[in-house]
Structure 1
Amino acid sequence: MANSAPPTTDDGRYERQPFHFTDRITADGRDGWPAEPGRYRIVVSRACPWASRTLVTRRLMGLEDAISVAVTDPIQDDRSWRFTLDPGDVDPVLGIAFLADAYHKADPTYDGGISVPAVVDVPTGAVVTNDVFQVTLDLATEWRAFAREGAPDLYPEALRSEIDEVNARLYRDLNAAVYEAGFATTQAAYEDAYTRVFACLDWLEERLAGQRFMVGDTITEADIRLFTTLVRFDAVYHGHFKCNRNKITEMPVVWAYLRDLFQTPGFGDTVDLDHIKRHYYQVHANINPTQIVPAGPDLSGLTRPHGRESLGGRPFGDGTPPGPAPAAEVIAQQL
């Protein structure tokens, strides 16, 4: 079990480590890594919101045949992410038991954290990138030549500055702030993060009251980044991370927005609530020393009508919804 406490500063603030591997996989291969179907494998945990963004983006773009996915066990041990869901506890494509092996293949001297998502070059077995922010943007743009017919434009050029601005606030005051609240070791650090989380949610309640999606009238990168945090909020962040002013189900606008996205192909069908809950409550033993996984909350409401069609918008723009998930990637319904 990975029971070590996350890194914090002297004043008790949780501090995320910078990304070590930041090469990009691009259409022209300018970093030495050209986009090539079958060459790369994305290693994810379905428990991790950062990794879940890649699963949503890959599904929306229809890149399942171009880039394979390896799913780790949601429970880490002291060597971090492991492939114990696969036969023989070894990833069948990479031939390794731990994601750390791919990190050390890329840099034998690396001694930092082992994070997901990580994109691995299959021929060499080495990590190319663990830059969670750039990976999804590149899947949406640099891989378009291999995307499905009807794939949406998730990062439209005309809206990029607004998307980037929105994403910066979402990261600072929600995506990262829930972790800063949960891992804080002083009251002041916790309360600062808590305040920012709910100020951001109040902003979202107001912003989304008059528009169906975060930026423009279609789904974009901003919605993907927001969704993976919102869908974990009531199950994990409200109690486990002490972000407990209210639940998402108690915020009418944001709750309807979350239901809208959850019911959109490519979003809810990538969510594994079992992996999510077991990871947070059993791995963060410094927060939950008994490692008991709560039975609730009841999230069956995610499948109920949301009514946000009345706001207009075209989820996929001029494109089309993705087809069903590949049989090997279907997640059993848990609501």
Structure 2
Amino acid sequence: MIAYYNRHPVWSLVVFLVVAFFVWAIFAAWPPGLEAVLGKKKVFLNAIFNGITLGGLYFLVASGFTLIFGLMKNVNLAHGSLYMLGGYIGYGVALATGFWLLSFVVAFVVVALVGIVLQYAVFRRMEGEDLRQTLVTIGISIVLADLMLWIMGGNTFQILAPEWLGGPVRLPLVTAVKSSGEPVYMTYPIVRLVIFLASVVIGVLMWLALNRTRIGMLVRAGVDDRDMLSATGVRIQRVFVLVFAFGAGLAGMAGVVGGTFQSVAPGEDTRFLLASLVVVIVGGMGSIPGAALGALIIGLAEQVGSVYFPTYSVVLTFLIMVVVLAFRPQGLFGRTR
């Protein structure tokens, strides 16, 4: 952080001021003048927390995408279809068994197996051929989307969370003060908070696995110099298959998350593929911390934009991507090569 500040003091100051404003706006009592500009504090806090939890969902999808696309250099544009497939599988398992947690396990395993098939049937035969990978995976995504539309129909489904995750929880954040002087505290759905905390735990474990374990060292070495690593006797294809399966499984598990606090419906595959692309571009390809920061930025931009700039909320998201590409093409946490 100190080195980054020494290289970019102006940007560091801007980031610090923006973060300081948001921290003050969340925890401090608002003066009447600020409410006249931003509206009620409760609306602002809901937008912030919705953006953070949406960022957690985007991270689960984009972290698998950044492993496959950013780290392994496999252009998998069927990643959004894997997300939607996991959502439908999770819905079916939860409906049949009533066991919400089991739906995560089944979705992860089934979609991971689909990822293994994709790795063997497509990417292993087209290594280094980005255009062919792009065209083939676009075709696969269309076929998968049509199959899911044929089987599930055009209806919208929602995965029901268990009763112990139902209802709101009171947060220690004051949204207003009554005439009697009694503070009004913010409430928020507990299921969204639990899912966000789970995404944080998964992100930390992924970073540790890539940077502090032997398998992570093999993956990074294989990306940098595959021939040299193969010469040492490591079966690099087996390592890449496992990483691809894990990234695909994360997308399937994210589909269960999205189906729980949003919904599963036709068209969600395209939406989350596009979101994953934007997150990876903003955060930096192959970087887990970059995917986390990019997902948080895009999630906040979408939700805050939908509240304060509803007509231009989509423009705000792509404006962030354009600014990052203009000033730091490799992404916020990307490496220069």
Q: Same fold (TM over 0.5)?
A: no
Greater relative contact order (CA < 8 Å, ≥ 6 in sequence)? 2
Scaled by the length of structure 1, the TM-score of the pair is 0.27
| Rg larger for | 2
Scaled by the length of structure 2, the TM-score of the pair is 0.27
Report which of the two has the higher share of helix.
2
